[in-house]
Amino acid sequence: MNLTLHVWRQAGPDAPGRMVRYEAADISPDMSFLEMLDVVNERLMQTGDSPIAFDHDCREGICGSCSLMINGVAHGPNPGTATCQLHMRSFADGDEIHIEPWRARAFPVVRDLVVDRAALDRIIAAGGFVSAATGSAPDGNATLIPKDTVDTAMDAAQCIGCGACVAACPNGSASLFTAAKITHLGLLPQGQPERLQRARRMVERMDIEGFGGCTLYGECQEACPKMISIDTITRMNRDFLRASMTPVRAAVAESD
């Protein structure tokens, strides 16, 4: 395959950026999108040019590092697919591909296609955890949880924190990410003691970080590589509303 790439190049957070054209020749359709970028970078370095900076780690659709806008779509054209799992056979020979970083106020560009997503980490630090001592691991059958509840919690737990929902949202909202974390913990017994306090702290942190508000546009769930539903946002809004109407001390202890 022979492709034409238009890649966003930016030397640093305060440097001006621009789209740069590259020719990607003799690309195997069986390569992943990141492997294609590896090949392009190797050729750039052979000619003394600076390689394209992009985030990656596991390359197995687990870590959420591969945050790229491809032809204006977060993670590219295939639904439920992270960039590292996107293969070049999804494109046609001769295609022109535009590659950009996430575009969101809360995700400043570090260099080229790399953005700073530490804001998501700070939302988790605000309450996305269980702090109560749980002791040793109990028998898996000792705590009965309805299967539909377990399934919903595990669906939310699939979030890999890639930030595609933020990049795809016209408001730059992190509501799907935050709601997935709140839903995951809020549906399980271990997460009940801090349920309302968790929602309050994480939503407040999300606002502090400069993410936009959610208007249920729905593009977030379409861009999510794990196909997490915006139903989680409804759960988050409900818990946050309850927390807002409950004294802080009572919110810490209250559960369903």
**Domain carrying residue 85:** 3-111
Residues 140 and 246 in one domain: yes
pLDDT in tens, 99-131: 999 999 999 999 999 999 999 999 999 999 988
Strand pairing partners for 241? none
Residues 49 and 70 in one domain: yes
In the listed set 84, 111, 138, which residue is the last one of a domain according to the structure?
111
Residues 95 and 124 in one domain: no
Q: What is the distance between the alpha carbons of residues 27 and 38, in angstroms, rounded to a whole number?
A: 11
Q: How confident is the model at residue 140 (pLDDT cuts 50, 70, 90)?
A: low
Q: What is the distance between the alpha carbons of residues 130 and 76, in angstroms, rounded to a whole number?
A: 34
Sign of the C-alpha dihedral, residues 51, 115, 184, 218? Answer: negative
Residues 146 and 244 in one domain: yes
Residues 98 and 129 in one domain: no
Residues 137 and 246 in one domain: yes
Residues 49 and 133 in one domain: no
Looking at the 3D structure of the chain, how many domains does it have? 2
pLDDT in tens, 200-232: 999 999 999 999 999 999 999 999 999 999 999
pLDDT in tens, 23-77: 999 999 999 999 999 999 999 999 999 999 999 999 999 999 999 999 999 999 9
Strands (E), the chain: 3-10, 17-24, 69-70, 73-74, 96-100, 109-111, 114-115
Q: What phi, psi does 100 have (nearest 5°)?
A: -135, 165
Residues 77 and 143 in one domain: no
Q: Look up the CATH number of the domain holding residue 230.
A: 1.10.1060.10
